[in-house]
Structure 1
């Protein structure tokens, strides 16, 4: 039985939540999520390259940030089989154009690396399904949260580049 990607993320996130309230901190605690079937219109889940994210493809994402720790998860379904994609948090929500999501979200502005950004590279299986999780040793700065997760055409290189933008999932509280 195949569980839709969004349901799988919600089940995992619901089972892993702590009941303890986060302690006060300059960074605060934030939970973001988003997902859906990729479409050319709208902003919840947008496709920019239907060859790499064909009709029926979908994704879901969660990002939980608390003082000193951020955990981000991405689940994809219906992408091309046995293929690697790059994925990153971006500063803005998705839009009609790939560049609308803005630059990679960085904990501290100025350098692109796996310690300062969230890289969720994913490799799909024979059915086009894949998942990735990244844990960072930092929380979001007060008043600053990413707006989306963008899926790129290639896995992330050492300099943080991952090729053209294939699809985007807007994150919201």
Structure 2
């Protein structure tokens, strides 16, 4: 019994010594060390859409296409190597497809204040669902819909998207006008949480 107890004590001492040492684990090929990864980002925005006003964060620009009482909820999250965004709308026109994209600036009094679409990087010269965040929705009979999309890239460090713009038409997926979805009818400013 003493030899078993002695062996057990030696094993615990060796295990404790090994646990006290910190060694860097190798990273899988293609993945950066944790200290060089971009920070996690969680952006949210939404509410009942109202006409543009100072400090309004959910605005409507076209009340013929976005009825009074319509509401929007947006979340956009980015980790080290994955970005996931979700859009939920309610009270919109029934059985209608709206284009929706993340944009670079907050919403403003004018639809163009939100700036261009948010892109993975400025090195991409063409718009696509792989290089931008498109969240088109087709509403049900009650004007509700949800869309979620994920990308295998992170938001640019220090430069996340600042708004989600809802457009009057479905997003064109190809051709010279890829990414176009018609006039901007509503906008939601995103804030970090």
Give the TM-score band, short-chain normalised: 0.7 to 0.9
Structure 1 39/25 Cα, relative in aligned 2: closer, same or farther at 3 Å?
same
Question: Which residue of structure 2 aligns with residue 123 of structure 1?
Answer: 138
Question: Which residue of structure 1 aligns with residue 46 of structure 2?
Answer: 35
8 A Cα contact 1:36 1:58, kept in partner: yes
Larger radius of gyration: 2
Structure 2 spans left out of the alignment, 5+ residues: 1-33
CA distance in 2, matches of 1:107, 1:25: 18
Question: Which residue of structure 2 aligns with residue 15 of structure 1?
Answer: none
For the pair 1:155 / 2:174, whether they are aligned, the reply is no
Which of residues 156, 160, 181 is equivalent to 1:141?
Answer: 156
Instruction: Measure how far apart 1:144 and its partner are.
Output: 1.0
The superposition leaves residues 46-68 of structure 1 with CA deviations (integer Å, 9 ceiling, x where unpaired) of 00100110100010100000111
8 A Cα contact 2:99 2:168, kept in partner: yes
Q: Helix, strand or coil for the counterpart of 1:81? A: coil
8 A Cα contact 1:26 1:141, kept in partner: no
The superposition leaves residues 146-169 of structure 1 with CA deviations (integer Å, 9 ceiling, x where unpaired) of 110000011110211100001000
Q: TM-score, normalised by structure 1?
A: 0.85
The structure in which a higher percent of residues are helix is 2
Structure 1 spans left out of the alignment, 5+ residues: 1-22
The superposition leaves residues 102-152 of structure 1 with CA deviations (integer Å, 9 ceiling, x where unpaired) of 000001113211111000000100000011001011001211111100000
Q: Aligned-residue CA RMSD in angstroms?
A: 1.0
Instruction: Measure how far apart 1:41 and its partner are.
Output: 2.8
Greater relative contact order (CA < 8 Å, ≥ 6 in sequence): 1
CA distance in 1, matches of 2:110, 2:95: 27
Question: Which residue of structure 2 aligns with residue 164 of structure 1?
Answer: 183
CA distance in 1, matches of 2:104, 2:37: 20
| Segment drifting more, 106-115 vs 54-63 | 106-115
The superposition leaves residues 60-112 of structure 1 with CA deviations (integer Å, 9 ceiling, x where unpaired) of 10000011100000000010001000000000000010000000000111321
